[in-house]
A and B are shown apart, each in its own frame.
Chain A
Amino acid sequence: MRTVKSPFKFKGGVHPDYNKELARERAIERLPMPAELVISMSQHLGTPAKCLVKAGDFVRRGQLIGEKNGFISVCVRASADGKVKAVEKRPGPAGGMADAVILDTAAELPSDLPALEPLSPLDWKTATKEELLKRVEEAGICGMGGAGFPTNVKLSPPPGKRCEYLILNGAECEPYLTADFRLMLEKADRIRIGVEIMRKILGGPAVRIAIEANKPEAIAAMEKAFADIEGNVEIVVLPVLYPQGSEKHQIYATVGRVVPEPPALPIDVGCVVENVGTVAAIADAVEKGEPLLERVTTVSGDAVAEPKNILAPTGTKYADLIAFCGGEKERPAKAISGGTMMGFAVPSPEIATTKTTSGLLLLTKKRVFQYSSQACINCGRCVRACPMNLNAAEIAKAVESDDIKGAEDLHVMTCIECGACSFSCPAYRPITQFCRRAKNSIRARIAAEKAKAAAAAAKEAK
C-alpha cells in the first residue's frame, strides 16, 4: 500500500466555495426514529421496485417491501418496524412521482406477527463470489454517491470484460457535503472490509482509493486502515477541483484511462468506480447481514441552526432532519437535496431521503443566485470550464432556438451535467438546464423510435 499524488489532470473544472467547514468537524450522529417514514420504491436508477405491501400491513425492520423489478432495479426493504399507513404516489427528490410506502413507526406490532428471517451474516473469506453478489443484491444496495446505479450489476462485468481497477470514490467534490469524509474518518475499517469483499467478487483487481487533497484527515485514516493490506492498493491524492468525483474524471485522474463517449461505460476501460459509502454498506450487508436501511446525510447550509452529519433511516422526511439540527436559523430561500453543484432543488421539507441522499442544504437568499435570460456574450468561460470539453455556449444557443439536432451534433449526450458551465457563466444563463433539455428530448426521441421499430417488428411478426 502506498500513497501517491494523482499524475493526471483533466481539462476544465471549476473551484466553487466548498463551505465544508460547516459540518466537517461534526461526528456522525444517529437520528432517533422518526414517527413516520416515506419509503420510496424508486430510490435507485432504473425501474422502480414493485411494492409488496398494502395499507394496514405490519412490517418489520429489514423486511422486503419492494421487489426488484427487472435487471436494472433494486429491491427495497423496510427501514423500521411499523404499520403501513398508505401506499401512494409521492414526489421524490428529483420531482418524479413514484409509489411510496408511508410507514407509521410508532405503531405497536401485534404479538402474533411472525418473526422475520433475517439475512445471515456471511464469512466473506469462505463465501463464494456468487453468494457475495447475491447478498449485495438482496441487501438492496445501489450506488450511494448520487446516481444510484444497482451495485450488483456494476460488480458483474459483462462477459469478455474484466475489471482491472477498483476505484473507491472518496473525492466528495460537492460543496457543503461531508458525509463521505466523516465515513472515511469513522468507519475506515468497514470500508477496508468492503474493499476486500469487492476485490473477491471482481477477481482481484488493483485498488485505487481516490481522495481530494483537502481531506488530509481522511487520507490519514484510510492509510492507517489499509496499512497492512496485501496486493496492489494505492491511495491517490487528487487535486482539489470540481468535478473530481465524476466517474470518468476520477478514472482519468487515478489510472489515466479515458472512458469513450456514451454508451461506453467505465468497465469498457477495465474500471469499476464505487462510492465509499456503498463499500461500507457492502461490508455491513455481508459481515452483519444488515441490508441498506440507513445512510449518512449531511444537513448543512447557512440557514441550518446546527449543521450535522446524520445517520438516518432511508425514508426520513427532510423536516425531521432539519428539526434534529435545531431547525432553521434563518428563512431559507432554497432547499437542495444533494450538493450545490448537482443536487435537486426541492419544493418542500415533506420530501423524504433515499439511499442516494448525500446531503440536504438549506440556503438563505444571500447564497442563492437567480438565473437570467440575458444573451450569451460568447466569453468562452463555459467552454474553458467544461470538464468534458464541450462547447457549452453553442449547445445552449442551439437548444434555445429549438435546434436539438444541432445540440446533438455538438455531442450534448456526452454532457455529465456537472454544472461547471452555468457556474461560470457571467450572464447567468441556465446552460446546464439547456443541456438537460436537449438530452431529455434526444432520449425521448430515441425511445419513441425504438417503440416504433418494436411496433413495426411486432406487426411484421403477425
Chain B
Amino acid sequence: MIAIVCIAGIGLVVAAALAIADRYLSVQEDPRIGMVTAALPGANCGGCGFPGCDGYARALVAGTAPNGACAAGGDAVAAEVAKILGVAATATEKRVALVKCCGTRSEAIRVGDYNGICDCAVAAATAGGDKGCKYGCLGYGACANVCPKGAISIRDGLAKVDKRLCIGCGKCVTACPKKIIELVPASATIHVLCANPDKGPNVRKVCGVGCMGCHLCEKNSGGKEANHFTFQGFLAKTNYQNPPTDAAIVAKCPAKCMIEDPHFETGR
C-alpha cells in the first residue's frame, strides 16, 4: 500500500516538474526550421558545407546560406525551400560527379606493383603511385570511401560513378588526390575521360586511351565556333556551359577517350 502511494506520489511530482519546465524553459524555435528540414532530402551528405540537413536548414532560415546549395535535392527542393522562406527560387542544374579517366588496367600501364595501404593519397605519396600516367585514376577508392550514397565503385582499377545514385555532394571531388573528379551537369551525356594535358606521344607512352589533343572532337562538332570543347595543353575538355549533343563524334575520337553514356556507370 505504502509502495503504491510512494510511486504515485513520485509520479505526480515528476509530472508537475516536467509541466512547469516545459512551460518556462521551452526554447522558442523558428517553426520554419522544421519545415525546411522536412523539405530537404535528409541524406545528411554534407555537400552543402553545413553539418547535415538540419544545419543547412538553420542557416537557410537565419539567412546565412544561399538557397540552392543542396545538390542532392536540386531545383525541386530549392523551389520548396523558397516557398517556405518566401524568397525567389534560383534554378540550379543537378550536377553529378565524373571521373575523368578511362585508363583501365588493360589500357593504362602500371610502372610498379604497389604494396601498401589501400588508399589513393597514400599510394600517390609512394613513388608517385603505380600508374604510369601521373594524372590518372589510381583506383584505390578514396572517392568510393567517402561517397555517402555508395554511388562509386572501383572496376578494373578505375573509379566509376553511377549517375543515378550520385547526389552531387562533391565529397569525392575533395577526396581525390589526383583532382580528376569534376561535378558536371547531369544532362550532359558526352564526356572526355582523360586528365592528362601532356603531348600526344607522351600520353601514348603511358596510356592507350589518353587524349592527345588532336582537336578532332572540336572539328566534328562544328569547329571552334560551336564552342563545345575547350583545350588545356593537349587535353580536350567538354564545355559544360554548352555541351555537345551529337553522339557521332564519340566514335570518331581516335584516342577513344570519349564516352556517350547517359548513366556513365559502365564507362567506356
A-side interface residues toward B, CB under 8 Å?
91, 94-97, 344-348, 370-371, 373, 430, 433-434, 436-437, 440-441
Contact stretch, chosen from B67-75, B112-120, B208-216: B112-120
Does the CB pair B121–A437 fall under 8 Å?
yes
Determine the residue in chain A with the shortest Cβ distance to B146.
A402
Does the CB pair A347–B128 fall under 8 Å?
yes
Q: List 27 A-B contacts (CB under 8 A).
A: A91-B127, A91-B128, A91-B134, A94-B127, A95-B124, A95-B125, A95-B126, A95-B128, A345-B112, A347-B111, A347-B127, A370-B115, A373-B118, A430-B116, A430-B117, A433-B116, A433-B117, A434-B117, A436-B122, A436-B125, A437-B119, A437-B121, A437-B122, A440-B121, A440-B122, A440-B125, A441-B121
Of the residues A344, A370, A437, contact of B117 by C-beta under 8 Å: A437
Give the complex CA separation of A434 and B121 in angstroms: 12
**Does chain A have a CB within 8 A of B139?**
no
Give the complex CA separation of A229 and B125 in angstroms: 46
**Does chain A have a CB within 8 A of B130?**
yes
Chain A residues with CB under 8 Å of B134's CB are: 91, 97
| B199 vs chain A, min Cβ distance (A) | 10
| A382 vs chain B, min Cβ distance (A) | 16
Give the complex CA separation of A370 and B126 in angstroms: 15
B126-143 to A contact mask, C-beta < 8 Å, 1/0: 111110001000000000
How many of chain B's residues have a CB under 8 angstroms from any CB in A? 17
Give the complex CA separation of A348 and B112 in angstroms: 8
Determine the residue in chain A with the shortest Cβ distance to B145.
A402
Give the complex CA separation of A319 and B226 in angstroms: 49
New A-B pairs, 17, CB < 8 Å, besides A94-B127, A95-B126, A433-B126: A91-B128, A91-B134, A95-B125, A95-B127, A97-B134, A345-B126, A345-B127, A370-B115, A371-B115, A373-B118, A430-B117, A433-B116, A437-B117, A437-B121, A440-B121, A440-B125, A441-B121
Give the complex CA separation of A71 and B118 in angstroms: 36
Determine the residue in chain A with the shortest Cβ distance to B122.
A437
Does the CB pair A347–B116 fall under 8 Å?
no
Chain B residues with CB under 8 Å of A94's CB are: 127
B-side interface residues toward A, CB under 8 Å?
111-112, 115-119, 121-122, 124-130, 134
Give the complex CA separation of A433 and B114 in angstroms: 13
Chain B residues with CB under 8 Å of A441's CB are: 121
Of the residues A97, A347, A430, A437, contact of B130 by C-beta under 8 Å: A347
Give the complex CA separation of A436 and B119 in angstroms: 12
Which of A95, A348, A371 has the largest number of chain B CB atoms within 10 A? A95
Chain B residues with CB under 8 Å of A436's CB are: 122, 125
Chain A residues with CB under 8 Å of B119's CB are: 437
Chain B residues with CB under 8 Å of A437's CB are: 117, 119, 121-122
Which of A345, A346, A434, A440 has the largest number of chain B CB atoms within 10 A? A345
Contacts A433-B117, A434-B117 given; does A346 touch B122 at CB 8 Å: no
Chain B residues with CB under 8 Å of A347's CB are: 111-112, 127-128, 130
Chain A residues with CB under 8 Å of B122's CB are: 433, 436-437, 440
Give the complex CA separation of A436 and B116 in angstroms: 12
Which of B118, B125, B129 has the largest number of chain A CB atoms within 10 A? B125
Chain A residues with CB under 8 Å of B118's CB are: 373
Give the complex CA separation of A147 and B15 in angstroms: 69
Of the residues B121, B125, B127, contact of A346 by C-beta under 8 Å: B127
Determine the residue in chain B with the shortest Cβ distance to A430.
B116
Does the CB pair B115–A96 fall under 8 Å?
no
Chain A residues with CB under 8 Å of B127's CB are: 91, 94-95, 344-347
Give the complex CA separation of A25 and B265 in angstroms: 60
Give the complex CA separation of A268 and B118 in angstroms: 39
Chain B residues with CB under 8 Å of A91's CB are: 127-128, 134
Chain B residues with CB under 8 Å of A430's CB are: 116-117
Chain A residues with CB under 8 Å of B124's CB are: 95
Give the complex CA separation of A345 and B126 in angstroms: 8
| B36 vs chain A, min Cβ distance (A) | 27
| B113 vs chain A, min Cβ distance (A) | 9
Chain B residues with CB under 8 Å of A434's CB are: 117
Give the complex CA separation of A434 and B126 in angstroms: 12
Give the complex CA separation of A440 and B127 in angstroms: 15
Give the complex CA separation of A52 and B101 in angstroms: 34
Does the CB pair B125–A348 fall under 8 Å?
no
Does the CB pair B130–A371 fall under 8 Å?
no
Give the complex CA separation of A441 and B142 in angstroms: 13
Give the complex CA separation of A45 and B59 in angstroms: 44
Give the complex CA separation of A347 and B134 in angstroms: 12
Which of A97, A344, A433, A434 has the largest number of chain B CB atoms within 10 A? A433
Does the CB pair B112–A96 fall under 8 Å?
no
Does the CB pair A95–B129 fall under 8 Å?
yes
Q: Which 10 A-B pairs have the closest CB atoms?
A: A95-B128, A347-B111, A95-B127, A347-B112, A437-B122, A430-B116, A91-B128, A433-B116, A347-B127, A433-B117
Chain A residues with CB under 8 Å of B111's CB are: 347-348
| A455 vs chain B, min Cβ distance (A) | 15
| B135 vs chain A, min Cβ distance (A) | 10
Give the complex CA separation of A344 and B116 in angstroms: 13
| A395 vs chain B, min Cβ distance (A) | 13
| A339 vs chain B, min Cβ distance (A) | 16
Which of A97, A345, A347, A371 has the largest number of chain B CB atoms within 10 A? A347
| A293 vs chain B, min Cβ distance (A) | 26
Give the complex CA separation of A371 and B122 in angstroms: 14
Of the residues B116, B121, B128, contact of A97 by C-beta under 8 Å: B128
| A354 vs chain B, min Cβ distance (A) | 15
Chain B residues with CB under 8 Å of A433's CB are: 116-117, 122, 126
Give the complex CA separation of A440 and B125 in angstroms: 9
Give the complex CA separation of A80 and B233 in angstroms: 32
| A5 vs chain B, min Cβ distance (A) | 39
Which of B118, B121, B130 has the largest number of chain A CB atoms within 10 A? B121
